[in-house]
Each structure stands twice: as C-alpha cells, then as structure tokens.
Structure 1
C-alpha cells in the first residue's frame, strides 16, 4: 500500500525476513550505509562534476525491534523517515516506511526533490 500527500510518502511491504534481521538492517551502521545511500546515476562521473555529496543521516530514536526514526538532510531540505517493523502471520515482517518532509531552508531557492527512502 502506498499513500502519498504533499508532505509524506507512506509505504508498507511484507518481507520474508524475520523482524530481527530487518532490525539489524535498519540499525547496524555498515548495513544502513549499504542501502540508505544516494542512488548512483548512470552518467555520474567525477570529470563531469555531477557527483554530489551524500545526504546527512542522523538517528532520532530507536525502539528495539519495532521502530527507527532518522532525520535526513538532503541539500537544504530536511525530512524524517520512520521505519516500523512487526512480525506477520507468515513468519516474516510487515515493514512500513513513512517519509515526511520536515522543512526546507527559508533562504533556499533549491527546489531539488527529496529522495524517498524506498
């Protein structure tokens, strides 16, 4: 299920992995850095100056095995991403993502859209 508003994107997935494995993917720094990173663009290369620094990721809160919240600063925009996990009837995980735009710098003319977490 996907629900989108002007300020948020809500996604829910059913995963085959156990909740403990999903929790590790959300909280172990090496794992987080693998999948929560700026996607590569095919024509990005240092010589054309198209590469941008990665966004800033800051942990806001973590409720063991159930919820993790991160603050993301991408260019001048700030958003909050909440990941919720729970066991499902199939032995896997119900995985929900809520990506909310928190704010954009008032003096910024940058209209670059934020990248959703999923």
Structure 2
C-alpha cells in the first residue's frame, strides 16, 4: 500500500464551543447533514442522492476523535476530526483529510490536481 504525502491536508482551529458540543455536531446525523449537505449513508441508501458522495463512520472515541470515510465518483479519502479542550472552555479542533491508501500496483485511476 502507498500513500502520497501531498494528498494530506491538516487544519487546526480554535472554537468557542465546548468539546461536547463539537462532538455532537460531528456525530448526530441531523447536525452532520447540516454542514455536509445530507451525504448518502452507505449503510442506508434508500433515498435519492442529494450529493455525489458517501459518508461512512470508521471509528469514534467519545468527545475526542471521529473518523469518516468519504467516497465520491473519483476518490476515497478519510477525514479525522480531533477534539481537545483548550483550557478556555472552548475546543482545539483538528481536521486531517487524506487520500485513502491504495494498492501499489495502481489499478485505480490516477487522481489529477488542478493547476
């Protein structure tokens, strides 16, 4: 398996919201759909697709970390949300978005980057 280091994006934000509130925004389906635009739940695909991607929960550590797999027409990636109390009543919020690992034999289409 290979991973291209250029396919990883890492962002950190300081939020005024408490970690529990951020956790709920990342894990309660109604809240997730508000900021991701109603993705298709690949475990329950019984309705019309509103967006062109699927979202699948990989793992969750309560009030600490959530990982999702996101699949669209061209790629599969993982997004990890790290939640840490910042000592001021808010949250240090880290997002790491990376291309999923692919087989080294490269049977998948090549991803292209815009100039």
TM-score of the two chains, using structure 2 as the length reference = 0.73
How large is the RMSD of aligned CA atoms in angstroms? 2.4
Measured against aligned partners, the alpha-carbon deviations of 1:51-100 in whole angstroms (never above 9, x if no partner) come to x8431000000000000000000113000000000111211000000000
Contact 2:76 / 2:99 at 8 angstroms: preserved in 1?
Answer: yes
The runs of at least 4 consecutive aligned structure 1 residues that moved more than 4 Å come to none
Q: Which residue does 1:22 correspond to in 2?
A: 22
Work out the number of aligned pairs and report it. 96
Any gaps of 5 or more consecutive residues in structure 2?
Answer: 39-49
1:35-46 alignment to 2 at 5 Å?
A: 35-37=35-37
Contact 2:37 / 2:51 at 8 angstroms: preserved in 1?
Answer: no
TM-score of the two chains, using structure 1 as the length reference = 0.71
Any gaps of 5 or more consecutive residues in structure 1?
Answer: 39-51, 114-118
